[in-house]
Amino acid sequence: MKIALVISAFMAVATAAGPPAYGPAPTYPDIPPAYQYQYAVKDDYAAVNFGANEARDGYATNGEYTVALPDGRLQTVKYTVSDAYSGYVADV
């Protein structure tokens, strides 16, 4: 009886599943981003006035955003990114 138990234990260990096998990591195409968006909110009752727009094609990005300052003036910031090395350039 002990021999049957030992043989059963060895068979269980021998037929046990090994660690999971992982396939190769998925690859994704490197497509440069291209998009454009715009939004604006103006609510005189709540004294809310802001908006933004942006266009991007690869690294080249330009846009602007507008916010209402506490004294009632509107401040517009225009910005550009020419390439991967120029960084964010804002004109306030």
- Kindly report, residue by residue over 34-76, the tens digit of the pLDDT: 999 999 999 989 889 999 999 999 989 999 999 999 888 999 9
What is the pTM for the complete model shown? 0.64
Q: Are strands 74-81 and 48-57 parallel, antiparallel or unpaired?
A: unpaired
Residue 63's pLDDT is 98
Phi/psi of residue 6, nearest 5 degrees: -65, -45
What is the band of 21 on the pLDDT scale with cuts at 50, 70, 90? Answer: confident
Residue 20's pLDDT is 80
Strand ranges of the sheet holding 60-68, from the earlier edge strand across to the other edge: 34-43, 48-57, 60-68, 74-81, 89-91
Cα separation values, 38 from 42, 51, 65, 73, 86, Å: 14, 8, 10, 21, 24
Q: Which amino acid is at 45?
A: Y
pLDDT higher for 13 or 72?
72
Residue 79's pLDDT is 97
